[in-house]
Structures are given as C-alpha cells and as structure tokens.
Amino acid sequence: MGGREPEERPPIEILGADPGVSSTQQVALGPRRPGRPKGWLLAVVALVVAALVASVALGGTDEDDEPERAADDEPRDNADHIELGGRQSTTTTQPTTTTTLAPLGPLFGRPVDGALLVGDGSSWELVDLTTGETTTMSLPIIDPHGSVGMGGGIVAVLDGSASFYPILGAGQQPDGRVLGPADVVMTGDDEHVWLLDLPPDGTSDEPPQVDVRLVDLGGAVDRSFQIPGRWVDAATDDVLLVGRGGRVFAADERGLRAISVGWTMGANGDAAVVMECDASASCALVRQPVDGSPGRVLLPIDDPEGTYYESIRASDGRTALWASGEGRASEHLVLIAADGRSLGRVPVESAVVQSTPRWLPGDLGLVATSTHGIEWIRDTDDGWDATSIPGTTRFALDQVVVVTP
C-alpha cells in the first residue's frame, strides 16, 4: 500500500457500547497480491550497524546517551515499503527505557482494556488503551506483520520458532515462552494458534510437506498433522485452507478435500472466502463453507485480474478484506461479520493507511497506522470512516498489533 497524507482530521468522538470481546486475528494474502519485499531484516540490521559505527566515531559508549524517540518525531522514512516477513536469525533486543511521554488519554474516547504494540520490528512501544500511557518495550527483532496478538501478549516467529511474549503487566522486557517450531503463525481461537513449519527451500528426494500444530499459549499441542505441499493460505478455528491449481481445499487430519473452484482470499467465521468465476467469466467473492456445501456471494468483482485482497480475520470470525488494484483509487476495506453479513465498506485514501489494519475489541472497528500516526477505522452515524488520532504522529509508518486480555 502506498503512503498517504490526508488533511487535518477532526477529533475522535465517543461511540457505541463498552466492548466485551477479546480478539485475535490473522493476516492472509490473496494469491495475486504483490508480495511484500523480503529485505526488511537486512534493512534493520544495516541501520543497527550504522548506528554502532556512528557511536564509536563519536566516542560515545555510555548507555545514558541512548537516544529516545521524542514526542514530535517526524514520520520515519518507509518510502521503499520494507517487507515484513521470513525466518529470522537474530535475537537482538533494544535497551529498556522508561516512559518518556505524557499519557495521551483514552485513544478511542473511553477506557478499553488492552494496549497497542506499535513498532517497526526493531523498536517497540506499548500504548495503553485506557490511559494512553506510552512505554518503550524491549523485544527481539521480530516480524510485526506476521505476529498475532492474543491472551494479553503476542505470538511471534523468531529463528524458526514461535514464542508467546506476555505484554500486559509483564514489564518492559517480557520473557518469551517457546511454543514450537514454526515459520508462520495463524490465528486459531482465543486460546490457540496454528504453527506452520514449512519445508526447507531447495530440492529434496522427499515430497514437500507442511508440519502443522495447533497449540495453546503454554505450548501444549492439541492437534498435529501434515499437509502435502509448501504453503497454507489461511485458517479457520478448525481447518486450514490451501489453494492449488485453481481449486480451494480444506486441510486437517483427514487430508485435503476440495471445497471450491477458485482462489483462496482468506477465511470468514468457519468458512473460506474464495474468488470464483462463472462460465461467463463474471467473478465474485464467495463465502464457501468448508464442508463443501453451496456458498453465497459476498460481492461482485469487476476487475478480477487487477484486484488484490489482503484478509484480516479476528478470532471471533469477523473479516476485513483490504482490496487494492492497478489504480490506487480502487483501494478499500470490505468488512464482513462472522456469519457473512456485510458490515460495510470503507474507502481507503491511497495516501493514508500504511500498515495492515487490525481488529479492535467489541464494536470499536479497526486500527492501523498512517502518515499521521494511528488511524481509527470506525462506524459512525454517517457510515464508516478513518480518523487520525491526535498526538500519535510519532507512530507514523510503524506496524501495529492489538493486544487484549
């Protein structure tokens, strides 16, 4: 997604009833969406090395000289849209510091249990959703795009292994709890995640297969099986979804079974979201039950060859489809309830939202980062809208993970 620079936005307002849903979520990419670059870790390492060289040149070694991010920082340069993904090979953490900013106050107009973990993979800050208090966190260099917020913390992949990091109430340098080998983590339910251990690159005498485990946050394995092939597209609570040769398959202990002809776009509730085209080449997004029973159309697609979708599924089943195309004016969010009902459509200005939107608890909508900081995507009396939260400019261009108890 391109960078966005909107005009000044109005202050936020208090909306709706007090949320009561804790939500985890997964991000999946449609098969035709351009891949995010693979060099995000190299860029981070290069920045760290450059900083060390500059420090030695200046003769500065005192830890007290560690620069802190000021409240009026300008947005960080991410014009190259650095990729966030892939197996990591470092356990570098940032020095622990204390809170440096005055509390922002409730970010969404009222107190909300939880926090936003905002960062670029190498530096992290925790924003309390009740007080707006901002705390610098010390975490390994991990991929924020592929991390899942759940159970008061995040599950992240580092060095071929998934770990759970308790974030809420665990101090500024939480210890990770290893859950098992993984290259990719996907949302299960509120208490479980899917760990996918992908086959190694290169040739082999053995057919490739993905080792799958469904684990709780203590690392206990509830289910374990293998999927033939090299990749998994998305997951529901109960099955994984795989696209091959223009067909969509549900995968579990029983193996692969075809459920649709089309391309996997994500998951919604206990169903797959599939792009299907009929005999006249008219295409649509279809909510396809994983038992293979007839699906139902969610919305037509006018330009199937030029439209890409990124799917964000909350563990309560809600789905956001971030649609973009060859023309930036086509960018928008399609919001779907767990039962497939339409929640609305949000035009996304091509120069605003930078990070993958994440679902907030209850009826609060979604959150993302923009060139203005933290962006609140919410349902208002006039329909869905994106509003920049005042005082959050320092978080521009970062990624955000929602952490709820």
- Average pLDDT estimate for 42-55: 44
Rounded CA separation 104/97 (Å): 18
Asked if 120 and 76 touch (Cβ cutoff 8 Å), the reply is yes
Asked if 399 and 121 touch (Cβ cutoff 8 Å), the reply is yes
Residue 327's contacts (CB-CB under 8 Å, 6 or more residues apart) are: 306
Q: Give residue-wise pLDDT tens across range 389-404.
A: 888 888 887 889 999 9
Rounded CA separation 107/100 (Å): 18
Task: Identify which has the larger pLDDT, 44 or 140.
Answer: 140
Query: How many Cα atoms within 13 Å fall on the side-chain side of residue 166?
Result: 10
Residue 90's contacts (CB-CB under 8 Å, 6 or more residues apart) are: 41, 45, 140, 141, 159
Strand partners, 274: 264, 286
- Long-range own/partner contacts, residues 345-352 (CB < 8 A, 24 or more apart): 345/384, 346/377, 346/384, 346/385, 346/386, 348/1, 348/322, 348/386, 349/4, 349/6, 349/386, 350/2, 350/4, 351/2, 351/3, 351/4, 351/5, 351/6, 352/4, 352/5, 352/6, 352/386
Rounded CA separation 313/48 (Å): 34
Residue 168's contacts (CB-CB under 8 Å, 6 or more residues apart) are: 114, 115, 152, 153, 403, 405
Asked if 91 and 140 touch (Cβ cutoff 8 Å), the reply is yes
Domain regions of the chain by residue span: 25-403
Rounded CA separation 347/245 (Å): 32
**For residue 28, what pLDDT band results from cuts at 50, 70 and 90?**
low
Rounded CA separation 404/239 (Å): 24
Residue 145's contacts (CB-CB under 8 Å, 6 or more residues apart) are: 27, 36, 84, 85, 355, 356, 399
**Number of other residues whose CB lies within 10 A of the CB of residue 208:** 15
Q: What pLDDT is stored for residue 352 in this prediction?
A: 66
pLDDT of residue 265 exceeding 50, the answer is yes
Residue 15's contacts (CB-CB under 8 Å, 6 or more residues apart) are: 108, 109, 363, 364, 378, 379, 380
Q: What pLDDT is stored for residue 275 in this prediction?
A: 95
Asked if 364 and 110 touch (Cβ cutoff 8 Å), the reply is no
Q: Which tokens hold the place of 312? A: 């964000």
Rounded CA separation 45/405 (Å): 32
Question: What Å distances lie between residue 167 and 121, 136, 320, CA to CA?
Answer: 15, 12, 25
Rounded CA separation 371/210 (Å): 38
- DSSP letters for 316-363: TS-EEEEEEESSGGG-EEEEE-TTS-EEEEEE--TTTB-SPPEEPSTT
Lowest mean pLDDT among 80-89, 156-165, 357-366, 375-384: 80-89
Task: Identify which has the larger pLDDT, 73 or 237.
Answer: 237
**For residue 122, what pLDDT band results from cuts at 50, 70 and 90?**
confident
Q: Give residue-wise pLDDT tens across range 148-194.
A: 998 899 999 998 999 999 999 888 889 999 999 999 999 998 899 99
* Domain range 25-403, CATH class: mainly beta
**For residue 330, what pLDDT band results from cuts at 50, 70 and 90?**
low
pLDDT of residue 345 exceeding 90, the answer is no
**For residue 263, what pLDDT band results from cuts at 50, 70 and 90?**
very high
Lowest mean pLDDT among 81-95, 133-147, 183-197, 348-362: 81-95
Give, in degrees to the nearest 5, the angle at Cα 133 between 129 and 138: 100
